Amino acid sequence: MNCKQFNSIPLEEVLLSLGHLPTKQNEKEAWYLNPFARESQASFKINKSLNYWYLFSEGIGGTNTDFMKKYLNASVNEVLVWAEDQNFSSFHQQNISDRKVENLPANYEIIEIKNVQHPALLEYLNERKVDSQIEFLKEIHYRMNDNYYFGIGFKNDSGGYEIRNKYSKICLGKKDVSTIKNASESLRVFEGFFDFLSFKNIEEFLQKEPADYLILNSVSMISKIKNSLDNYENIELYFDNDEAGNRAIEMIKNENQNVEDCRVLYSDFKDLNDWMIHKNPSPERQVKQRRR
């Protein structure tokens, strides 16, 4: 597959393969939440007739190739290898390579993985009020474009890492969900790992037994987990208080029974971690007040 062929594939199909669904659309255009970062209002638009995208929040746009270069943080050649391996329905592939996107060379290198100990990262976790949950995290040092960086790392099921520090939010490796299993019949689902860590802070106070946990690492991964929910008797959802969170909860409730929307705990805040950060008084007292 060459660039011309890849760019002829409807970008909507490309986004669907990545788990992104439009928030609204018509015959001429489709609007999406930013595929590159979390946002509450759609700023990513596709011109269907031109098959061209534009991200208003960053003032950038382009073709399918331009989109995937940014999405995968990869070269044109790497993007084309990825495209060949997707088996898009609108393109009859020939001589398909058996290479996988997770095996592609990338312009980053993980230098070191260790327990979190850097003072700046410890301070960052303290600011996010999750420093007591450090057991779930790693300190990742990596090189990208000949520059060296470090951040908090949360591993996903494909071996990639969600990387966070005070100044950046990226994923190293393949984007995927993270699951933590305890052989439970109950499942708790979170959008981001800071929400999961925040919940662990108050789990005992809420008198909840440990369950299985699923962290999406992006609400766009919601379509990937549908088959994973069938094995649970109870499903608790701790999503963001925004349009994307509403849609995700509605989607899960429509296809599963015994689903509980747990956002009442932090209904006045953006998400569970936002509540944890800005709580006043303590989270325990807030829970007591909300139970009255």
State how far Cα 14 lies from the chain centre.
17
pLDDT for res 102:
35
Residue-level pLDDT at 282: 56
Per-residue pLDDT of the chain (292 residues; tens, 9 = 90+): 789 989 988 898 888 778 788 888 887 898 999 999 888 888 999 998 899 999 998 899 999 999 999 999 999 999 998 888 776 644 433 222 322 333 333 578 899 999 999 988 999 999 999 999 999 999 999 887 777 888 999 999 999 999 998 777 888 988 899 999 999 999 999 999 999 999 999 998 889 999 999 999 988 888 788 888 988 999 999 999 988 889 889 989 988 889 999 999 999 999 999 999 988 555 555 555 555 4
3-103 and 178-291: identical CATH topology: no
First to last CA, the chain: 61
Give whole-number Cα distances, 128 to 106, 190, 198, 232, in Å: 30, 16, 9, 30
Q: What pLDDT sits at residue 88?
A: 64
CB 96 within 8 A of CB 85: yes
Determine the distance from the C-alpha atom of residue 238 to the mean position of all C-alpha atoms in its chain, rounded to a whole number: 14
Q: Is 189 exposed, middle or buried (0-12, 13-18, 19+ CB in 10 A)?
A: buried
pTM: 0.62
- Domain 178-291 in this protein, CATH class: alpha beta
Domain ranges of the chain: 3-103, 108-172, 178-291
What pLDDT does 284 receive? 54
The pLDDT value recorded for residue 99 is 29
Tokens of 118: 């850097």
DSSP 29-74: EEEE--TTS--SS--EEEETTTTEEEETTTTEEE-HHHHHHHHHT-
Q: What is the pLDDT of residue 146?
A: 72
pLDDT for the residue numbered 27: 79
Tokens describing residue 72: 């995968």
> What pLDDT is stored for residue 201 in this prediction?
94
CATH of domain 3-103: 3.90.580.10
Q: What pLDDT score does 233 carry?
A: 94
